[in-house]
Structure 1
Amino acid sequence: MKKRVLITGAAGFLGSHLCDRFIKEGYHVIAMDNLITGDLKNLEHLFPNPDFEFYHHDVTKYIHVPGSLDYILHFASPASPIDYLKIPIQTLKVGAMGTHNCLGLAKAKGARILVASTSEVYGDPLIHPQTEEYWGNVNPVGPRGVYDEAKRYMESITMAYHTFHKVETRIIRIFNTYGPRMRLNDGRALPAFIGQALRGENITVFGDGSQTRSFCYVSDLVEGIYRLLLSDYVNPVNIGNPDEISLKDFAEEVLSLTGNAVKIIYKPLPVDDPKQRKPDITKAKAILNWEPKVNRAEGLKDTYNYFKSLPPEEWFKQPKEFVSSK
C-alpha cells in the first residue's frame, strides 16, 4: 500500500511544489485548498495522476478525509503582506482553527504532522542571525501581528498536541523562499521587483534599502521539509538560505538580470517591517544533513524565466479582491 499524505494549502506556491515532490517519491497525495490565495493552475498537471486527489475545502471547517493517513503537511495560510493585511481574520483563523483541525485529524488518524511556521515568529529581531532558541520581538497589535501571532500560536498548539496527546509533530520555520509559481502581485520583494521590471515600471524599495533578507530557492526548501518530516526531531527547525543581502542590492541584481532601463525608487518603510533576516541553520545541518544547494544567481534566472514565460496579461494582473471575513 502506498503511503498517503494530506497537504493543505496545496494550490499555493509551496504547497504545489510539495505535491510534486511527494508524487515523485511514490506517495498518494491528497491536496486540500480553499483557493482564497491558491490557484488550481499550480496543480492542473497532477490531475490525471491516479495517485493525486484534490479537495476544495477550508481547513478552518471540520476536516474529513476518508481512509488512512500517514502524514499531514499543514501549509494553508496567506503568506504575503498584501494578503494577510487584506484578510487579517482569515489569517488568524487558519493559524488557530485550521491548525487545531489538522492536529485533531492527525490524532484521529495516527498520522505524523508537519506544520509550516515562519521566520516572522522572530518579528523585528534583536539578535542576528536568528537561532531557534530566540523568542522574537513581535508587536502583537501591529498590522503584521495577525500573521506573526497566528504562526506563534500554531507552534504552541502543535507542541501541546505533541506533549499532551503524544501526536508525532514537526515544526519548520521557513525563511524567505522564491521560485516558479509565486504570484507576481503577492507583495513580496522578489516577485514585486520582477513584475515591475517586466511592466517597465520603476522598482520600489521600501525604506533606504538597507534592510536584509536571505532568499532560499524552492527546491532547497522542499528538500529541507521532506527531511524534517522523516526525521525524529520535534522542536522547531530553521530552513532557509543564510546568504544575506540588502534589498537595495537585491533590487540591483534583479535589474541587472532583466536588463530593463528602469530606476530604483524609495518609499517609506511599512510598520514593523523586519530590518534583518538571516537564518542560523546549524540545527538543519546537524540534524537533517541539509543546507541549500542552489545559488541566488541560478535561482533568480530560473524564476525570472518563469515569470517572463507567463502571458503578458499576467504581468498586469491586479491582486485578488477578498470577501470580508466574519
Structure 2
Amino acid sequence: MKRVLISGAAGFLGSHLCDRFLSEGYYVIGMDNFITGDRKNISHLWNDSKFEFIEHDVSEFVKIDGGLDYILHFASPASPIDYLKIPIQTLKVGSLGTHNLLGLAKAKKARILIASTSEVYGDPLIHPQTEEYYGNVNAIGPRGVYDEAKRFMESITMAYHRFHGLETRIVRIFNTYGPRMRLNDGRVIPAFMGQALRGEDLTIFGDGIQTRSFCYVDDQIEGIFRLLLSDYKYPVNIGNPNEITIRDFAEEIIKLTETNQKVVYKDLPIDDPKQRQPDITLAKKILNWEPKVKRRQGLQLTFDYFKSLSKEELYKMEHKSFENHIKR
C-alpha cells in the first residue's frame, strides 16, 4: 500500500485530497495545525484504518515514521481575509514549511507536489495566463505575503529538483470552489453565498468588470491527482478557463439562491487582479485533463452544502479565530 502525506489536510482542498487518495487505496497521513483548517472537514475519516492524522505546524521540523511515496504540500492560508490577518504565518508556511517538506521528501526518496497558485501571476499584463508568464506582482503590497510565499515555494522546489534530483511537481491552482469552503473568507463565491444566506446585499469590490474563472473542486482534485502521477516537473495551470465578470457572476448567484438582493459597490482592494483566466493548453496536452463540471451544477452543489449547515456551524465558519497564532 502506497503511503502519502498531505499537509493542510483539514483545509478545503486538503480534505478532498484525503478522500481521493483513500478511495484510490492509498494509506493517507494527514497533517494540519488547524490555523485555517477545520476538524469537521476530516471528521468522517477518523475511523478509517487507512487514515492517520498528525496535528502539527509544518513550519516546524516534520518527522514521519516509516516510508513515504508521495507528499502533497497544501498547508497555507489561501484567502485574503486569512493571509492579511496572519501574514507572518503565511510567509513561514510557504518558506520554512516548504523547506521542511522538501527535506522530508529527500530523506524518504518521495515525490512531492506543492500547491502554488494563480496569484504568482499577480495583476497580469497578459491574458489568459500561461505557465511561461513571469507575472506582475507587488512584493511589498498587502497581498505580497501570499504571492511571494508561493513564488518562493516554486523556486525552492525547482532548486531541490535541480540540485538534489528530487522528483517534484508544481500545480498552479486557479479559483476553486465547492463544499467545505469557509463562508466569508474573502473569496468571491463564499462571500456572495454567505450574504445570500443572510439576506444581505451582495458586495462587489471595484466596478465589477474584473473577471474570474471558477473551477469546481472535483475537477481540481482530478487535475492535481493526474499531475502528481505524471512525469512533468514544471508548473502546470489547473483551473477552468470559462471566464465571467464579477458583475455577471453576482447576478448568477442572485438567480441561483432565488433572492432579491441588490448589488452594492465598494472600493477595489490594493493589487486585486483585474483578470484571472488560465490557459490550460499544457494540462490538456500532458495530463489529458480539462474541467467537466458546469458552473451552474457546481454552484448548486456548493449552495446546497452551505444550506445544510447548522447556524452554529455557519457562525463558526464566519468567525474564525487566529488568537492562538497571531503572536507567533
What is the TM-score with the length of structure 1 in the denominator?
Answer: 0.99
Secondary structure of 2:29 counterpart? strand
For 1:85, the equivalent position in structure 2 comes to 84
Residues 60-103 of structure 1 show CA distances to partners (whole Å, capped at 9, x for unaligned) of 00000000000000000000000000000000000000000000
Structure 1 partner of 2:34: 35
* SS of corresponding position for 1:43: helix
Matched, 1:127 2:129: no
CA-atom RMSD in angstroms: 0.8
Residue 198 of structure 1 contacts residue 315 of structure 1 at CA under 8 Å; is this kept in 2? Answer: no
In structure 1, the residue matched to 2:321 is 321
Aligned residue in 1 for 2:198: 199
Shift of 1:312: 2.5
Q: State how far apart, in whole Å, the 2-side matches of 1:212 and 1:143 are.
A: 21
- How much does 1:260 deviate? 1.2
Correspondence for 1:275: 274
Distance, in Å, in 2 between the alignment partners of 1:42 and 1:179 is 12
Measure the CA separation in 2 of the matches of 1:141 and 1:50. 46
Which amino acid letter does the alignment assign opposite residue 223 of structure 1?
A: E
Provide the rounded CA distance (Å) in 2 between the counterparts of 1:275 and 1:185.
Answer: 21
Q: Which amino acid is the alignment partner of residue 79 of structure 1?
A: A
**Which position in structure 2 is the counterpart of 1:247?**
246
Listed as ranges, the matches of 1:171-210 within 5 Å are 171-210=170-209
Q: Which runs of 5+ in 2 are unaligned?
A: none
Deviation at 1:278, TM superposition (A): 0.2
Aligned AA (2:319):
P
- The Cα shift of 1:187 comes to 1.2
- Counting only pairs closer than 5 Å after superposition, residues 278-297 of structure 1 correspond to structure 2 as 278-297=277-296
- Is 1:143 aligned to 2:142, yes or no? yes
**TM-score normalised by L of structure 2:** 0.98
The secondary structure found in structure 1 opposite 2:85 is coil
Letter in 2 for 1:121: V
Identity among equivalent positions (%) equals: 73
Q: How does 1:95-174 map to 2 (within 5 A)?
A: 95-174=94-173
Q: Deviations over 1:90-127 (max 9, x none)?
A: 00000000000000000000000000000000000000
Distance 2:281 2:155 in 1: 23
- 2: CA distance between counterparts of 1:32 and 1:49? 15
Q: Which residue identity does 1:61 align to in structure 2?
A: E
The alpha-carbon deviation at position 249 of structure 1 amounts to 0.7
Q: Is the Cα contact below 8 Å between 1:89 and 1:325 reproduced in 2?
A: no
Structure 1 stretches of 5 or more lacking a match? none
- Quote how far apart the aligned CAs of 1:316 are: 4.1
* Residue 321 of structure 1, CA deviation: 2.6
Native 8 Å contact 1:11 1:38 kept in 2: yes
Q: In 2, Cα distance between the equivalents of 1:28 and 1:3?
A: 6
Structure 1 residue runs of 4 or more that deviate by more than 4 Å after TM superposition: none
Q: Which residue of 1 aligns with 2:5?
A: 6
